[in-house]
Amino acid sequence: MLKKIKNRARQGASFIKRDEPALLTFLFHSVFRNDDEIALKHIDPQQFITLAIYREFLEYFLAAGYSFISPDDLVQGLDPEGRYILATFDDGYFNNQHVVPLLQEYKCPALFYIASHNVQNNECFWWDVVYRELSKQGLERKTISAAQKEYKKLSHTEILTRLKEQFGDTVLQPCSDIDRPFTPDELRDFAAQEYVYIGNHTTHHYILDNYASDIQHEQILGCQQALQQMLAITPKTVSYPNGNYNADTLRIAADLGFEYGITVDKRKNYLPLREEDKLSLGRFVIWGKMPLKMQCDIFRSDMRKSARKKVSKGEML
């Protein structure tokens, strides 16, 4: 109740000062066609985003006078007096294809960050495996989330080993179109769609700041090479898995030629963008279980405008 009251107060305060020239970046993961797909528990719903919610998101910001942009627009440079939205989807879920008709209907681009190993090997994402298998055991979401956090403390190799020991050797195999990643051929067709853009989300979705700089370099470069091989493209933007990054991450991204990097630091990116901020752009998260208008009103607020945050850790998968 206290949190609801606080959010309502923040929403009201947002009308006092908001909509300064800025780029607002948003994070999505899976997209469900309806609540029935969520109820199957094939996948961690994370944000509980349905197509109806994504439509509402588009309509809200278009009505507010914001322009949805592509990474090409970002690289070419934004009007310092403009108000922009960059909608992003992390990981590479096949279910992301369901938003294409909405992108085309509203003429709004979106950027899809791909973890290349899962696409090339038809493997589920480990957090979905934990959610699916523990859900089968009747555990509540709170308990499952705690288990996922414990898994995050492990190296990626340790995660996969533990999953197979706990749930069986075939546990990484998808069970439906809901939980699986794109195949390479599907990703190629998807990337060719109007308003669809592709970005780098590392090879194996390593939480980068848990690793030495050489491993971070290998993960980001490996994904770049895989996307070049599969799609004949070289993305200029990278999304750091889980939103985590450190000074090594930013240096590596710059050395590899990326022009922009995306975090989950909860902040607006005020215009004109500063050079030192371009590889650590802030990003907001939309939650399907909360009133969308309230969230978006808060995100538009400039009441807390401040200097850029220090390098920090993220909170999302």
CB 65: neighbour CB atoms within 10 A?
9
Residues 218 and 117 in one domain: yes
CA distance 190 to 13: 41
CA distance 305 to 48: 29
Residues 100 and 223 in one domain: yes
- 254: domain CATH number is 3.20.20.370
In tens, the pLDDT along 257-308 reads 999 999 999 999 999 999 999 999 999 999 999 999 999 999 999 987 753 4
Q: Which of 146, 172, 198 is the last residue of a domain?
A: 172
Residues 37 and 146 in one domain: no
Phi-psi region of 207 (alpha: psi -120 to 50; beta: other; left: phi over 0): beta
233 band by pLDDT with thresholds 50, 70 and 90: very high
Instruction: Evaluate whether 256 touches 221 at the Cβ level (below 8 Å).
Output: yes
Residues 90 and 230 in one domain: yes
Instruction: Evaluate whether 151 touches 130 at the Cβ level (below 8 Å).
Output: yes
Residues 108 and 160 in one domain: no
- SS3 of 28, please? strand
- Domain encompassing residue 82: 2-121+185-300
Report the helix count and the strand count for the chain, using DSSP H and E.
13, 9
Residues 14 and 163 in one domain: no
Residues 104 and 195 in one domain: yes
* Length of the chain counted residue by residue: 317
Residues 161 and 287 in one domain: no
In tens, the pLDDT along 117-176 reads 999 999 999 999 999 999 999 999 999 999 999 999 999 999 999 999 999 999 999 999
| Range with the poorest average pLDDT among 9-23, 115-129, 240-254 | 9-23
Residues 47 and 12 in one domain: yes
Residue 312 placed within a domain: no
In tens, the pLDDT along 28-72 reads 999 999 999 999 999 999 999 999 999 999 999 999 999 999 999
Residue 49 placed within a domain: yes
Residue 178 placed within a domain: no
Residue 315 placed within a domain: no
Q: How many domains does the chain have?
A: 2
Residues 166 and 195 in one domain: no
Residue 315: the pLDDT is 46
CA end-to-end span of the chain, whole Å? 27
Q: Name the residue with tokens 């599969």.
A: 230
CA distance 285 to 266: 8
Residues 252 and 192 in one domain: yes
User: Considering Cα of 266, then 269, then 270, then 274, what sign does the dihedral take?
Assistant: positive
The structure's pTM equals 0.94
Residue 17 placed within a domain: yes
Residue 25 placed within a domain: yes
Residue 177 placed within a domain: no
CA distance 126 to 133: 11
Q: Name the residue with tokens 């197509």.
A: 51
309 band by pLDDT with thresholds 50, 70 and 90: very low
CA distance 251 to 217: 10
Residue 307: the pLDDT is 39
Residues 150 and 296 in one domain: no
Residue 24 placed within a domain: yes
Is the pLDDT confidence value at 314 over 80? no
